[in-house]
Structure 1
Amino acid sequence: MTDPANTPPAPDLPAPDRHPDAGAELTRLLSVMQALRDPESGCPWDQVQDFDSIVPYTIEEAYEAADAIARRDWTQIPDELGDLLFQIVYYADMAADQGRFDFATIARGIADKMIRRHPHVFAGASAEDIRRRWEDGKAGERSRRQETGALAGIPVNLPALTRAAKLCARAARVGFDWRDPALVIDKIGEELAELRAELAGADRARLHDELGDVLFTVANLARALGLDPEDCLRHGNTKFQRRFEAMERAIETGGRSVAEASAEEKEAAWQAVKRQEAALRS
């Protein structure tokens, strides 16, 4: 664990006036976790968990928090963020049992990192100094983790579209990039043609490979346009669900289910929904 005595002094920081009860509530949460994992009186499920078994729950909680934020559900957001915070406390308590680190190590580390990365806030710096120090700091962190190369340190467990965009952005920093987004669109057409050529053979391995190329290039296009591919896809998912449900309701007003309707009827209802949306936007 980190020795607080060796922690560099922090700059003058504002008092946490907006969070007067935070310290007491966090201490209570840490105590709750200790009770849950107590080897004698704790919860049997919590007692047997480890780092690997908790990871899927952490990812799930992060997505649930993101969903509540996207919906601006202000009553649900604190609950979902609490679930996510609980995951961090879980890792900290398990690591403390093993003598590796504790919650204070996590909190101290991220506070120190943010102070280092924001000299314009805590020490005063020019815009160029900020950019250079940020990049130098990231490079130093990767070096300490013995990660080398322009693409090092991008987590493999990121959502695939997000990771694709980050890989492309990192490559672009060293000049490996498209000059114009229109060229990326041309590349998508090329990749689609290669995918189409594999359809006749229906070799799953080849289709898997070619479709991956299409999706990767689409993610690159989003980056080239200054868009987040995950956010674009979430928007597309929401739009599809909204239109599909409107189509369902339209068909069901005639006393039939969507499954009973013909392909032509479903298409007609779908197009009607799109026209209604276009009319509302105009």
Structure 2
Amino acid sequence: MPDDPFPGLAGLDRLRAVMARLRDPEAGCPWDIEQDFASIAPYTIEEAYEVADAIERAAWDELEGELGDLLLQVVYHAQMGEEAGLFNFDSVAQKIADKMVDRHPHVFGEESREKSAEQQTRDWEAVKAAERAAKARGGVLDDVALALPALMRAVKLQKRAARVGFDWPHAGEVLDKIAEEAAELAEARERLSQAEIAEEFGDLLFVMANLARHLRVDPEEALRGANAKFTRRFRAIEAALEAKGKRPEDSDLTEMDALWEAAKRAERAG
């Protein structure tokens, strides 16, 4: 292992010094020097999901490292911003600190702390709406980030539209719309092109996201839970087949479906 290049530095100061060296045009890493905001953005998104995954799995021994990976992304963008004369790490930190103070008058100001989390959420949204108006963004949907995962962005778009009254009043009406979109998709399978089928499928997913919002369900979290449940039960199928000296490809749907139902019963009993 090489000698410590930054003796005396620790924590965030050390990390920032490491990043500055990696980006140094003369002495840095060629790969790091070539990167820009756009090329690093996918890594930023990926690292955020790695943090969420560690939390979902309660992998506390991994979370520290995953948070470090995510922090590196912030430092990376801040370093590039400083090189371009746009901003630096300190200005980034200052901006978010100021925002948190402004958006929490019940903590840092004179407002009462005696309000529910739901009321605080409404207040937060009102402050954000005022900030958007101050930025002269005329459209209700204008600053919903394009790079968000599609399901998350769908919910955010619907929340924005709902704030100006463009929304179904009750979840039952959303369920009716789901039935309508599902019927259109079933019909599309028989007569439409693949592109048109994809469009109908997208419409159905969009309405499903709207139902999640009406039911106060986080669709990303719900789908992660469904993924985990599917994985758990399919592994139970594999284990049951292995006990018979078989693999899934040696089985058939009837046998695997019976094992799936057995896994479901075992989960409910346990």
TM-score (norm 2): 0.90
Which consecutive residues of structure 2, in runs of 5 or more, have no partner in the other structure?
1-8
Tell me how far 1:152 sits from its aligned partner: 2.4
Q: Is the counterpart of residue 191 in structure 1 residue 181 in structure 2? A: yes
Return the structure number with greater relative CO, CA threshold 8 A, min gap 6. Answer: 1
* 1:40 correspondence with 2:30: no
For residue 165 of structure 2, what is the aligned residue in structure 1? 175
Q: Which runs of structure 1 show a deviation greater than 4 angstroms over 4 or more consecutive aligned residues?
A: 126-133
Task: State the TM-score, normalizing by the size of structure 1.
Answer: 0.86
Please say if 1:207 is aligned against 2:193.
no
Residue 244 (structure 1) aligns with: 234
Question: CA offset at residue 35 of structure 1?
Answer: 1.0
Which of 35, 44, 65 is 1:58 aligned to?
44
Listed as ranges, the matches of 1:128-277 within 5 Å are 134-277=124-267
User: 1:188-224, CA deviations, whole angstroms, 9 ceiling, x for partnerless residues?
Assistant: 1110000000111251111111100110111111110
Change (3 A) 1:277 1:200: same
The equivalent of 2:81 in structure 1 is 95
Partner of 2:4: none
Please name the residue that 2:94 is paired with: 108
The one of 54, 62, 75 aligned to 2:61: 75
Q: Secondary structure at the match of 1:169?
A: helix
Deviations 1:143-183 (A, max 9, x none): 45442222221111111111111111111112222222122
Give the alignment's Cα RMSD to 1 decimal: 2.0
- Which amino acid counterpart does residue 86 of structure 2 have in structure 1? R
Which secondary structure state, in structure 2, belongs to the residue aligned with residue 259 of structure 1?
helix
Equivalent residues of 1:119, 1:130 under 8 A apart: no
Q: How many residues align?
A: 258
Distance in 2 (CA, whole Å) between partners of 1:109 and 1:80 is: 24
Show the counterpart of 1:12.
none
**What secondary structure, in the 3-state scheme, does the structure 2 residue paired with 1:92 have?**
helix
Look up the equivalent residue of 2:188 and give its one-letter code: E
Confirm or deny that 1:119 pairs with 2:119. no
Q: Percent identity?
A: 52
Q: Give the gaps of 5 or more residues in structure 1.
A: 1-22
Instruction: Answer whether contact 1:61 1:83 (CA < 8 A) is retained.
Output: yes
2:169 is matched by which residue type in structure 1? R
